[in-house]
Amino acid sequence: MTTHVGGEAPPPSAEELLSRPPTPAQRVHAVLHRQPALSPAIVLILAGVAFGLLNDRFYRLENLSLVAQQVAVVGSLAAGQTLIVLTAGIDLSIGAVMVLASLVMSKLVFDQGVPGVLVLLIGASIAVLAEAVNGLLVTQVRLPPFIVTLGTLSVFTAITLIYAQGQTVSLKPGAFLLWSGKTVSVGSLHLTTGVLMMIALYAVIGFALRYTAWGRHLYAVGDDADASRLAGISVKRVLLSAYMTAGAAIAVAAWILVGRVGGGDPNSGLNANLESITAVVIGGTSLFGGRGVVLGSLIGAFIVQVFVNGLALAGYDPNYQVLAVGLLVIAAVSVDQWIRSVKA
Amino acid sequence: MDGSRKTTCPARRGRNQRNRGAATGLAVCLAATLAACGSSSKPAAPSPSSSPSSPSSPGSPGSSGSSAAGAPVGVSLILKTLTNPYFVTMENDAKAAAAKDNVTLTVAAGAKDGDTQTQISAIDNAISRGDKGILITTNGDAVNTALNQAKQAGLFVIALDTALNPPSVADITYATDNEQAGKLDGQYAAAALGGKPAVIAMLDLFNNQIVSVDIQRDHGFLEGMGISPGSTTQNGQEAKSGNYSGGTYTIACHQPTGGAVDGGRTAMENCLSAHPDINVVYSINEPAGEGASNALKAAGKTAQAMVLTIDGSCAGLKLVTSGEFAADTAQYPGKMAGLGIDAIAKLARGGSKPSVTNGKTFFDTGTALVATKSVPGVTIQSPSDAASACWGK
């Protein structure tokens, strides 16, 4: 023990700093850091309360089930997008791949009468192959994901338009491909099989990310690719697998889209590329990679749709929906920055 | 006349514009690979038997009495793209008219929407080839300079479907009167309600409200129902409730659809959630209307609401027959091209210039309301009658 002359308090030792009780802000910070899906969940609940107050129709099961149906397509895409964003990548072409797959499937059934199961396999192969192209350009040609998918966005969109000849394809009611749009009613909750498919997709991807070596490697690569390589992880293989698994998720989204549209429409999925990224970002997954959970993206997709539906129910001009979603994105990224700011 | 106030362009164009936005104009790299856009020239065979199989619409190439004798007349048809059945129909009907009129037709088209460079080259080619006229669906204002040069060189320039900006760049415009198209749908809806209160869903194209067709069709529909749009430049400015020509009305919603099926469905779902008693649905085009119809089906409300739309494609007419659409107002892209060829052929052989429709700034190629159920005071065409002039497959 040293005695200080002059009566000043001694500077705190390291041990004292460590044992000091955290401030409230630090507590919140720590909780949010551990639970990336928590802040979007709070936003979703608050939004639900607010819109319920604006129009009591919002809480009707019929309306909530509509929101679920509207989320199914972008929600499934967001599951795939999450995998890519977790690797610190981004996929701007994800919606274009979905529309391409949905159109090829619809047209094969409509023009050639190819059996539904075979068509599904073809559609899934197209989605996985398209994403493999993205993955290979990122891993082998070493282009930034932003640039790669900016290019393939145009390529896939153009292929779709050329193939479709501007034509919308409507399948006959009862076609196997339309199974994803079939209504599943529980009381006055009218879900579609597409919604259930999306939930199953999240369960599978959530499990794989949390409990498999592949999932842990994905986080590791996204957090620090160099360290992962030194730790013996095949970074390229993990990256490629992330894109191809996203392709499988896109295939699910494409099937749900066919059910929703009742066929194929080359002009559908207008904003799906950006909406999927919006859902992922609002869902708390960091664009810098390595942090986030897939459940957050589902919540993020719901938040966006709840805002669109809620503001429409309350009778606001559609432009306010766009405004609200934009503000949400900025808020979400700000929270992400704050959470990442104190690494200690 | 109010209908002539603005330039015309069908929703089809709007749909493509949207793609342009989504792709953030990045399809540039692609243009390089696809630049080999269709530009084929072949003298049309004088015998109609070898003309391409195309639905020769009844009102199409008018027998203007122009003699097909003498040297062939060169005409260039320059389309936006050839990936859209709307424009493919123009090409087919132009070829049929060219064969009839002894016209040597050269067809060119942009590689994609917004591709003005290809169109400019095609205009230059038309001048150097000594063509007598140009028919163009413009991809943008960048073509104006070349078109002015063409006019100076003595070519007659006809804008098809979309007026140029300013419209005077073309000698004349052949287009659909979109306000009239919306009006026909509105009149049909008002008559079909027969005095019942109307709860109306307005499914528009975009929420930026800057595309002229979006405003013209929306306002035309409201006027057709006897409701004042409340603005000449914006959608959604009408009184939210009041009286239409047959009784009282409520506007349930104005929602953007992007002119696509999924957009139409989501918009209709949200409108229905807020107003389960909607009984009139205006939709900007057929895909949006199809999405609305899907939403009504899923909600088990097809019987309570009528969907009214605009396009007149062959696929759309089938949906009128099957009852998804109560009414579909048809427009005639093939007629625009066919009449355009006729006009240039006639002019080149010493005939008079074509003139605009009385009271309008353009030549109105007409619209017709297609429906299965007749209502008092509205002229309808049956889907089977309309099928002879429909476009697409």
Mean pLDDT computed over B62-66:
44
| pTM confidence score | 0.78
Which of A312-316, B12-16, B18-22 shows the highest mean pLDDT? A312-316
- Please tell me whether residues B158 and B185 are part of one structural domain: no
At B69 the pLDDT is: 62
Question: How high does pLDDT run on average in chain B?
Answer: 83
pLDDT tops 60 at residue A340 = yes
At B185 the pLDDT is: 97
pLDDT tops 80 at residue B108 = yes
CA distances (Å), origin A131, targets A21, A114, A134, A265, B264? 48, 24, 5, 21, 29
pLDDT tops 80 at residue B152 = yes
Chain B residues within an 8 Å CB radius of A69: 269, 298
For the ranges A71-85, B29-43, B270-284, which has the lowest average pLDDT?
Answer: B29-43
At B25 the pLDDT is: 37
- Please tell me whether residues B354 and B372 are part of one structural domain: no
At A342 the pLDDT is: 57
Are B392 and A167 contacting, i.e. CB atoms less than 8 angstroms apart? Answer: yes
Å between A59 CA and nearest CA of chain B: 11
> What is the rounded distance in angstroms from the CA atom of residue B385 to the CA atom of residue A233?
68
Q: Look at residue B167 and tell me if it is in a domain.
A: yes
Mean pLDDT computed over B318-345:
95
Cβ distance B298 to A183 less than 8 Å, yes or no, reads yes
- Please tell me whether residues B202 and B133 are part of one structural domain: no
- The answer for B 225-244 residues in CB contact with A (under 8 A) is 236
Structure-token pair, residue A206? 């959530």
Mean pLDDT computed over B197-217:
87
| Residue percentage of chain A with pLDDT more than 90 | 55
> What is the rounded distance in angstroms from the CA atom of residue B263 to the CA atom of residue B22?
14
| Beta strands B280-283 and B248-256, pairing class | unpaired
Q: Does B256 touch chain A (CB under 8 A)?
A: yes
Å between B22 CA and nearest CA of chain A: 7
- Please tell me whether residues B161 and B136 are part of one structural domain: yes
Q: Which range marks the domain in which residue B154 is found?
A: 2-19+39-176+333-361
Phi-psi region of B21 (alpha: psi -120 to 50; beta: other; left: phi over 0): alpha
Number of domains observed in the structure of chain B: 2
| Residue percentage of chain B with pLDDT more than 70 | 82
Task: Name the amino acid, one letter, at A144.
Answer: P
Looking at per-residue pLDDT, the higher value among A100 and A167 belongs to A100
**Residue pLDDT, tens place only, A51-60:** 989 888 888 8
pLDDT tops 60 at residue A31 = yes
Mean pLDDT computed over A184-206:
92
Q: Look at residue B305 and tell me if it is in a domain.
A: yes
DSSP 8-class letter at B391: B
Identify the closest residue of chain B to A99 by CA–CA distance.
B262
At B209 the pLDDT is: 66
Chain A residues within an 8 Å CB radius of B290: 168, 170, 262
Domain locations in chain A? Answer: 38-182+200-333
Looking at per-residue pLDDT, the higher value among B228 and B111 belongs to B228
Q: Look at residue B169 and tell me if it is in a domain.
A: yes
Q: Look at residue B343 and tell me if it is in a domain.
A: yes
DSSP line for A225-237:
HHHHHHTT--HHH
Chain A residues within an 8 Å CB radius of B270: 66, 308-309, 312-313
Are A51 and A314 contacting, i.e. CB atoms less than 8 angstroms apart? Answer: yes
Structure-token pair, residue A223? 């957090």
For the ranges A172-186, B57-71, B135-149, B207-221, which has the lowest average pLDDT?
Answer: B57-71
Least CB-CB distance to A167: which of B34, B85, B269? B85
Cβ distance B18 to A270 less than 8 Å, yes or no, reads yes
Are B308 and B132 contacting, i.e. CB atoms less than 8 angstroms apart? Answer: no
Q: Look at residue B30 and tell me if it is in a domain.
A: no
- Please tell me whether residues B195 and B322 are part of one structural domain: yes
- Please tell me whether residues B214 and B141 are part of one structural domain: no
pLDDT tops 70 at residue B54 = no
At A5 the pLDDT is: 55
- Please tell me whether residues B163 and B271 are part of one structural domain: no
- Please tell me whether residues B208 and B151 are part of one structural domain: no
Å between A244 CA and nearest CA of chain B: 23
Cβ distance B256 to A318 less than 8 Å, yes or no, reads yes
Structure-token pair, residue A168? 């919308």
Q: Which residues of A116-144 are buried (b: 16+ CB within 10 A; e: fewer)?
A: beebbeebbebbbebbebbbbbbbeeeee
- Please tell me whether residues B383 and B284 are part of one structural domain: yes
Q: Look at residue B31 and tell me if it is in a domain.
A: no
Domain with B166 in it: what CATH number? 3.40.50.2300
Task: Name the amino acid, one letter, at B381.
Answer: Q
Question: Which of B179, B133, B204, B138 shows the shortest CA–CA distance to B364?
Answer: B179
Looking at per-residue pLDDT, the higher value among A188 and A128 belongs to A128
At A338 the pLDDT is: 82
pLDDT tops 50 at residue B367 = yes
Q: Look at residue B99 and tell me if it is in a domain.
A: yes
Give the sheet arrangement for strand B156-160, strand by strand. B39-43, B103-109, B73-79, B133-136, B156-160, B172-175, B363-364
DSSP line for A40-81:
HHHHHHHHHHHHHHH-GGGGSHHHHHHHHHHHHHHHHHHHHH
Residue with tokens 């299965």: B372
- Please tell me whether residues B155 and B11 are part of one structural domain: yes
Which of A30-34, A214-218, B6-10 shows the highest mean pLDDT? A214-218
**Residue pLDDT, tens place only, A319-336:** 888 888 889 888 888 887
ipTM score of complex: 0.77
At B53 the pLDDT is: 36
- Please tell me whether residues B255 and B214 are part of one structural domain: yes
Structure-token pair, residue B323? 């009852």
Cβ pairs bridging A and B (under 8 Å) = 126
CATH tag, A38-182+200-333: 1.10.3470
Å between A196 CA and nearest CA of chain B: 17
Cβ distance B287 to A62 less than 8 Å, yes or no, reads no
Which of A206-220, A267-281, A301-315 shows the highest mean pLDDT? A206-220
Mean pLDDT computed over B196-221:
88
- Please tell me whether residues B194 and B244 are part of one structural domain: yes
